Structure 1
Amino acid sequence: MRTWTVDSLGARIAVYEYGDPLAASTVLLVHGYPDDHRIFEPMIRVLGQRVRIVAYDTRGGGDTTVDDPDSVGNYALARLTEDTFAVVDSIPHRSGPLHVFAHDWGSVQMWETMATPRAASTFASFVSVSGPSLDHLREVSRARAVSLPQWASMATQLVRSWYIWSFHIPVLRRFVPSMMVSLGSEDAPEPKRRNQQRGIALYRANILRRLLSGPDPKCEVPTTVVVPLHDRFLSADLADGLERWIPHLQVIEVDAEHWWPYTHPEEAAGLLLSQDGERPAEIPTDVSVLLIR
């Protein structure tokens, strides 16, 4: 592992490199809440030396530091996008295609990155796992709000998102992270306590604001959306309608829970390698739990 730090708009981003630095392709791993880059360690071991691997701790996680961590504005999606491009630009002697694999909040923030003019010329592919676009979520919510048959779907997702709303209540947000751990599923990795508290700012800075207004969703990068069918935080039908604004899209349903990249690293690594046209025999990329629609 090689490490370095990148300065980005009031933050110092901790970056980690694995694999072969001379490989033809590079993969960028972006973690979610309440994790840090270590969530991908099982995947990284499977990927080995086949590709160059770059991961980083996002704001609110791991060894990345923020000058004013109490300022919610420091965790806005625009700042997170600047962080991503700062990390990309810091990769020494980068060449060849760059593929992105993002999970949970890492995926939420990468949808913002994918909507920028620079995205199509920077990224060769995007794999999104358990992290919807907030702009897509806003449009879906508005459509379902005026359709009585879809109210049940809306209500189900609101219940699944109980923790998000509690993050906005000062009295509750101190206790919710530990509650999530006690109620969490068995597939979850051991959370880092400081990540749990710091990462709350990601939700407070973006969720309500973006669900009220924002730009139309946009993504011109070839995209694979992975939907774990047993995700207790997100409804599978949140992927409905993505084809209206993503020209190159496939949706894959997996028989797994929320932390699929952590619990099924061979499948996750195989899917990521397939984005680069590589299908090594020892890594299953067409396993029975994958249902493509």
Structure 2
Amino acid sequence: MTEPHSRWTARSDGAALAVYEYGNPDADTTVLLVHGYPNNHTMFDAMIDAIGDRARVISYDTRGGGHTVVEHPEKSSSFAIERLADDTYAVIDSIPDLRGPIHAFAHDWGSVQMWEPLRDPRATDVFGSFTSVSGPSIDHLRETSRRRGLRPTQWPSVLGQLGRSWYIWGFHIPVVGKYVPDLFVKAGPADPAPAADPIDLQRGVELYRANIIRRMLSGPPPRCEVPTLVVVPLKDRFLSADLVEDVDRWIPDLTVLEVDAKHWWPWTHASDAADVLLDHAQRV
């Protein structure tokens, strides 16, 4: 397993972010890997090995994961998606001797949160491409749910996704919510996943509590002008494949790739994920 050849702390509003660098520091391509729940940066260990010296690789522990420290973890506002967007730019600003645009790759909640910095007017100057895996925009989900709710033929799709998202709603239930992270892990024995630290399992719940209901009720329209590849694992037990429908309404430069895999595709198919990321970065 590749060890980081450099690590540092990036300061953001209310958090000290643990950042790690791998790969070839002199490569022309720089990639940023953003993990989801309930993982930390080690989720990408095998993928980083597969990238090798083909790129400079930056990864970091997002709020709620790994060695990143949140000043006020008891406050849900500390995990607001707007702050997570600021974290992304804080990490990028902290990269020494950065040359050229960033090619971001994000999975699960890492992808959910990445849609927020991609809305920012700075995005087209900072990012060369974005590869999203199993992490739709909350704003897209809100708009899509509203459209489908008006069409009875689409109600089964809406109800099906609500069922797949049982754990999200469980996180919000007082008392019961504290047991949901363990159920989340035990519910998918046939879905190989990286081992989750019990601390990350508990801390990461705040990401959902701080954002899902709030942004599903109201928020800005989704927007992304960065060339984007959306990877759809067809056997994902948490997300319906049809959630990618209508994404082209707000992503002008969009490619969709379906893969015969489950939710943790970047971990179970690390070599494929590395090739997909670098191929997309080279094409844009």
Counterpart secondary structure, 2:282: coil
Give the equivalent residue in structure 1 for 2:85: 81
What one-letter code is carried by the residue in structure 2 that aligns with 1:43? M
Aligned to 2:123: 119
Counterpart amino acid of residue 211 in structure 1: M
The equivalent residue for 2:258 is 253
Matched, 1:51 2:55: yes
C-alpha distance in 1 between matches for 2:227 and 2:271 = 22
Name 1:284's counterpart in structure 2: none
Aligned-residue offset at 1:217: 0.6
| Distance apart, 1:181 and its partner CA | 1.2
Gaps of 5+ in 1: 279-293
Residue from 119, 123, 129 that aligns with 2:133: 129
Residues 173-216 of structure 1: CA deviation (Å, up to 9, x unaligned) = 11011111111243111111100000000000000000001111
Local SS of the residue matching 1:14: strand
Q: CA RMSD in A?
A: 0.8
Partner of 2:226: 221
List gaps (5 residues or longer) in structure 2: none
Q: Distance in 1 between matches of 2:137 and 2:231?
A: 13
1:235 aligned onto 2:235: no
Matches of 1:265 and 1:210, distance apart in 2: 32
Q: Which residue of 1 aligns with 2:173?
A: 169
Q: Which residue, 22, 27, 50 being the options, matches 1:18? A: 22
- The equivalent residue for 1:140 is 144
Determine the structure 2 residue equivalent to 1:285: none
Equivalent residues of 1:134, 1:210 under 8 A apart: yes
Deviation track 1:139-185 (CA, whole Å, cap 9, x = no partner) reads 00001111000000001000000000011112111101111111124
For 2:174 and 2:64, the matched residues in 1 are separated by: 18
Alignment of structure 1 residues 147-186 onto 2, 5 Å? 147-184=151-188, 185-186=190-191
Q: Does 1:93 align with 2:97?
A: yes
Counterpart AA for 2:279? S
| 8 Å contact kept, 1:24–1:97 | no
What TM-score do you get using the length of structure 2 for normalisation?
0.97
